[in-house]
Amino acid sequence: MSILEIIQFPHPLLKTKTLPVEGVNAAVERLVRDMIETMYHAPGSGLAANQVGVGKQIMVADVSKAEEEPNTIVIVNPQIVSVSEETIIANEGCLSVPDFNAELSRPAQVTVVGKNLAGEEVEIEADGWLARVIQHEIDHLNGILYIDRLGRLKRQGYIRKRKKALASGEKK
């Protein structure tokens, strides 16, 4: 297993829609193991394959608390099939969008279908933080960052700050 580099805004792969995985093979399994290790190392509660430079529809998540047992979720080719009308506002951040957080409204519950690592169809009904993480990661797989869902002023404010930081030679 190895820890992969997480690409950061404005890397073009973050804006690129990923492609479905045709079959869960050894290479996919290895990538997923590395993504899980990278997510725990960051640490983050979710990671999409294009954040580690792979344009495939794969996401991992773990929303368990520090005192709980780890509960890793892997979804290959995840698709949201329904969302609740009820929405919820929460503070969101992203490993690919350094030094920024913002409040964002999203549906409170989602149902997602996809495949697990055994290649079996799975359906997950999620609420709470997991619902948010799943939406955030599937957005990634569709080339959408959470800052794309913010108002224009907030988004432009971040982009300006980020460009300044990059120009001054900061890595983060």
Helix then strand then coil, % of the chain, to nearest 5 = 35, 30, 35
Exactly one of 52, 59, 74, 94 binds Zn ion (CB under 5 A); that residue is 94
Q: How far is the CB of 26 from Zn ion (least distance, A)?
A: 27
Contact 142, 17 (CB under 8 A): yes
Q: How far is the CB of 94 from Zn ion (least distance, A)?
A: 3
State yes or no: is 92 an active-site residue.
no
Catalytic residue among 67, 69, 86, 137: 137
167-to-11, 151, 172 alpha-carbon distances in Å = 15, 24, 11
What would you report as the CA-atom Rg of the chain, rounded to the nearest whole angstrom? 16
If the CB atoms of residues 24 and 112 are measured against Zn ion, the closer one turns out to be: 112
Residue nearest to Zn ion (CB): 94
Q: Which stretch binds Zn ion (CB under 5 A): 68-76, 77-85, 94-102, 123-131?
A: 94-102
- 6 binds Zn ion, rule: CB under 5 A: no
If the CB atoms of residues 7 and 117 are measured against Zn ion, the closer one turns out to be: 7
If the CB atoms of residues 14 and 32 are measured against Zn ion, the closer one turns out to be: 14
* Per-residue binder mask for Zn ion (CB under 5 A), 103-142, x = binder: ----------------------------------------
Q: What whole-number distance in Å separates Cα of residue 155 and Cα of residue 149?
A: 8
Q: What whole-number distance in Å separates Cα of residue 33 and Cα of residue 15?
A: 24
Q: What whole-number distance in Å separates Cα of residue 98 and Cα of residue 80?
A: 27
Q: Which of residues 74-93 bind Zn ion (CB under 5 A)?
A: none
Q: DSSP assignment of 149-169, as one string?
A: GS-HHHHHHHHHHHHHHHHTT
Contacts with Zn ion, residue ranges (CB under 5 A) = 94
Task: Provide the annotated active-site residues.
Answer: 137
